[in-house]
Amino acid sequence: GAGVSQSPSNKVTEKGKDVELRCDPISGHTALYWYRQSLGQGLEFLIYFQGNSAPDKSGLPSDRFSAERTGGSVSTLTIQRTQQEDSAVYLCASSLVSGNEQFFGPGTRLTVL
Amino acid sequence: KQEVTQIPAALSVPEGENLVLNCSFTDSAIYNLQWFRQDPGKGLTSLLLIQSSQREQTSGRLNASLDKSSGRSTLYIAASQPGDSATYLCAVPGGASGGSYIPTFGRGTSLIVHP
C-alpha cells in the first residue's frame, strides 16, 4: 500500500466497553509496532511483531490489552473493559525488517467517557 | 535500559534562522537513530535514518549527525520556514547490548517558526 493506515481515526466509547483498533502496514513490511501517546506524554511502546515470531508484549500495560497479527499483515489491538486512563492516541508503525526505518500511520484517537 | 533526552523541549524562532536540535542517549550500542516530525493531531513522519556506521545524513535543508561514542545526535535545520513548525522526535532502538529492536523515543522538541 501507499502507507500505513489505521482505523477508525477516532473512537469514543463508554467505560467498560471493549474496543478494537486496526492497523494495515505497508505491504511487505515484516515488522509492526503499536505505541500509545497520551496527552503531553511521549510515545509508549506497547507490542511488537516480527514475521512469524512470537510478539514482544513487554509494553502492554495490563492484561486488558492484547493484539494479534493475521497472515503477517493486518494487526488488531484490542482493549477490554476500557478505562478512562486508556484515552490516548494509538499509533501503529511498520518497517521492512526489524531495526529498519519505521513508517507510522495517522493514529486512532480513543476517548473513554 | 535506553534513555533518550531531547533538548530544548521547546523553541520559538523567526523565519530564516538556522536551528540545531539535540538528542542524547545513554546506551551507545545502537543499530541506528531516526528523526521524525509530528504535526498536531497527526502521526509521525520519518525525516532521516542514520545507521550506526554513519556519521551524518542529509535531506534537503535537514542534516542529522550521529556521534555514537558520546551518545549524541543533532538535527540541523537550515533557513527555517513557518512550515517547519512541528514537534521533532528522535528514536533509537533499545541498544545492541540489550539485543532489542524496540525503539525508545525522546519527548521531542516543539518548534515554532514565526514569519
Tell me the H-state helices in B12-103. Answer: none
Separation between Cα atoms, residue B33 and residue B95, nearest integer Å: 10
- Closest-CA distance, B74 to chain A, in angstroms, reads 18
Structure confidence by residue, pLDDT tens digits, A34-88:
999 998 778 999 999 998 888 999 899 999 999 999 887 999 999 999 999 999 9
Q: Do A13 and A78 contact (CB within 8 A), yes or no? A: no
- Closest-CA distance, B46 to chain A, in angstroms, reads 6
Structure confidence by residue, pLDDT tens digits, A88-97:
999 999 999 8
What's the pLDDT at A100?
84
- Which is higher by pLDDT, A66 or A99? A66
Given the C-alpha cell 534562522, which residue does it identify?
A: B17
**Banded model confidence at residue B30, pLDDT cuts 50, 70, 90:** confident
Find residues 44-73 of chain B whose CB sits inside 8 Å of chain A. 44-46, 49
**Cβ contact, residue pair B42, A31, below 8 Å:** no
Q: What is the chain B residue with the closest CA to A34? A: B102
What's the pLDDT at B95?
55
Judged by average pLDDT, the poorest of A84-88, A108-112, B28-32, B49-53 is: B28-32
Chain A hits for B45, CB-CB cut-off 8 Å, are 104
**Cβ contact, residue pair B42, A43, below 8 Å:** no
What's the pLDDT at A99?
77
Average pLDDT (B97-109) is 80
Q: Residue B48, Cα to own-chain centre: how many angstroms?
A: 8
Q: Residue B114, Cα to own-chain centre: how many angstroms?
A: 21
pLDDT at B96 over 80: no
- Closest-CA distance, A43 to chain B, in angstroms, reads 6
Arithmetic mean of pLDDT over chain A: 93
Structure confidence by residue, pLDDT tens digits, B44-93:
999 999 988 899 999 999 999 999 999 999 999 999 999 999 999 999 98
List the single residue in B41, B43, B100 with the smallest CB-CB distance to A91.
B43
Average pLDDT (B14-21) is 96
Q: pLDDT exceeding 90 applies to what percent of chain B? A: 75
- Closest-CA distance, A15 to chain B, in angstroms, reads 23
Chain A hits for B102, CB-CB cut-off 8 Å, are 33, 45, 48, 56, 58-59
**Three-point CA angle B102, A7, B4, nearest 5°:** 25
What's the pLDDT at B41?
85
Q: Are strands A10-13 and A108-112 parallel, antiparallel or unpaired?
A: parallel
Q: Do B90 and B6 contact (CB within 8 A), yes or no? A: yes
Separation between Cα atoms, residue B22 and residue B39, nearest integer Å: 19
Q: Do B15 and B71 contact (CB within 8 A), yes or no? A: no
Q: Do A107 and A56 contact (CB within 8 A), yes or no? A: no
Phi, psi (deg, nearest 5) at residue A101: -55, 135
Total H helices, total E strands in chain A? 0, 10
**Cβ contact, residue pair A91, B44, below 8 Å:** yes
What's the pLDDT at B94?
62
Arithmetic mean of pLDDT over chain B: 91
Separation between Cα atoms, residue A104 and residue B112, nearest integer Å: 23
Q: What is the DSSP annotation of B54-75?
A: -SEEEETTEEEEEETTTTEEEE
Q: Cis ω on the peptide bond leading into residue A25 (within 30° of 0)? A: no
